[in-house]
Amino acid sequence: MTAADATLRRGRVGDPFSSPWRRRLPLLPALLFTIAITQLPFLVSIYYSFTNLKDRTQSLLPEPTKFVGIDNYKAIFNDPFFRQAMWTSVKMTVLAVVLSLVFGTLFAILLDRKFFGQGIVRTLLITPFLLMPVVAALIWKQQMFSSLFGILDKVLEFLGLTAVPFISDHPLGSIVTVLVWQWTPFMMLIMLAGLQSQPSDIIEAAGVDGATPFGIFRQLTLPHLRRYLELGALLGSIYIVQAFDAIDQMTGGGPGSTNVPYFVYQESIGGGFRYGSASAYAIVVVIFSIVIATFALRVLSGLLKDEERA
């Protein structure tokens, strides 16, 4: 049968419908569909980014869409609000990732031992990650941070302290709190996998040699967890940099809480309706993301290679 196939292939050299192509043919519709719904819009966005396209209601002003060259791109690098949004994005992502990693590791260590009700505790700890982000943001806004109905301020008042308008006074802190609350379980799961893959004989040997529990953690567990920490930080950053729901629900933007995705939203469908310049912002963000993602993926594949060697 192999011989017959080979003859068939040799017989139709140069024919685009020869056997390999015939095998791929059923995949082509899916490929074309994917290109049509992902790459064509991207090309159109690139085109838009060189025009001053506005929404119909915006262009009620006598100003037809026209080609403006690289004006939109020049404007980006002079826009203090975009720089502010970038800086907010960096702060928000770094804070949320680092804190959720710290808490995730702590909870993972607690869960990595047998105790009564472990299953229930684990389920409860994972729950925040299963909640829809909008719901999480609303719960925190109304039930925790609100100075009218919020639990936090009720507790502060009960203790005789002055109530704090959390979201008004600390917009970034409030949003980071919600993000950390949501992402800690994710980090915890990764760390738990790391802890459970640690060989127990080494730890026993260290115990026999008289190492303290803290010493064991610092000298053995932490180095073992390093690549899990890196993986958690990487995946966490990829997701948290896109944070939108919490900002939209809790502060509706503003200094200290408008990050890059929210900024582009405001520029386009969020009221700005300047699709031309919003496209330019989006494309700059895509370029940044590709650069960062390339590095990140290299790190990730490096981690996986280490894993294979280990």
Residue 167, token pair as written in the block? 């979201």
Stretch that binds another protein, among 26-34, 103-111, 194-202, 262-270 (CB under 8 A): 262-270
Of the pair 157, 306, the CB lying nearest another protein is at 157
- Give the dihedral sign, CA 4/6/12/18: positive
Give the number of other CB atoms < 10 A from CB of residue 267. Answer: 24
Q: Do the Cβ atoms of 242 and 260 come closer than 8 Å?
A: no
Of the pair 93, 257, the CB lying nearest another protein is at 257
Length of the chain: 310
Chain residues 26-55 in contact with another protein, contact rule CB under 8 A: 55
DSSP 253: S
Among 88, 89, 93, 251, binds another protein (CB under 8 A): 251
Asked whether position 213 contacts another protein by CB under 8 A, the answer is: no
Stretch that binds another protein, among 14-22, 145-153, 193-201, 281-289 (CB under 8 A): 145-153
HSE-up of residue 29 (Cα within 13 Å, Cβ side): 1
Burial 222-256 (b: 16+ CB within 10 A, else e): eebbebbbebbbbbbbbebbebbbbbbbbbebeeb
Map residues 73-102 to x or -, x wherever contact with another protein holds by CB under 8 A.
-------xx---------------------
Measuring CA to CA, how many Å separate 131 from each of 100, 125, 134, 178?
16, 12, 8, 12
CA-nearest of 294, 244, 243 to 269 is 244
Stretch that binds another protein, among 179-187, 226-234, 266-274, 302-310 (CB under 8 A): 266-274
State in angstroms the smallest separation of the CB of 180 from another protein: 21
Asked whether position 20 contacts another protein by CB under 8 A, the answer is: no
Of the pair 41, 254, the CB lying nearest another protein is at 254
State in angstroms the smallest separation of the CB of 252 from another protein: 5
State in angstroms the smallest separation of the CB of 80 from another protein: 7
Backbone angles phi, psi at 51, to 5 degrees: -120, 175
| Cα(204)–Cα(145) distance, integer angstroms | 46
Asked whether position 261 contacts another protein by CB under 8 A, the answer is: no
Residues that bind another protein (CB under 8 A): 55-58, 60-61, 80-81, 146-148, 163, 165, 167-169, 171, 251-256, 258, 266, 269-273
